[in-house]
Amino acid sequence: MTISSDADASSTEAANYVSDAFITSKVKAAIFHDPELTSSEIQVETNDGKVILNGRVGTQAEIDRASDLALAVKEVRVVINYMQIKDIQQVQQDGP
């Protein structure tokens, strides 16, 4: 049987928050520094080591690349990718 105090629970929550913030920062940095991706179009969230990617990009290759970069971060447990491909009009307006 495991018993924990409220203080223990609070410190665990704080540790998870810091870890999640750290993971999010590392994933965002990897995406930002990748020349194949437009980082301003990609949102990153982390919850208990699970990274959630959202946004709209030009190609399936960009979606796959973002997932690969997130998975390459050691602390990431799972990547859930909700990214979508922009429609052709958006791609033409935004440029290459």
pLDDT at 40: 87
pLDDT at 12 over 80: no
Q: Which residue has the tokens 């690969």?
A: 68
pTM: 0.75
**DSSP type of residue 49:** T
pLDDT higher than 60, residue 34: yes
How much of the chain exceeds pLDDT 90, in percent?
67
The predicted model gives 51-65 an average pLDDT of: 96
Over its C-alpha atoms, the chain yields an Rg (Å, rounded) of 17
* Domains of the chain with bracketed CATH: 10-94 (3.30.1340.30)
pLDDT band at 3 (very low <50, low <70, confident <90, very high): very low
pLDDT over 90 (residue 94): no
Q: How many helices (H) and strands (E) does the chain have?
A: 3, 4
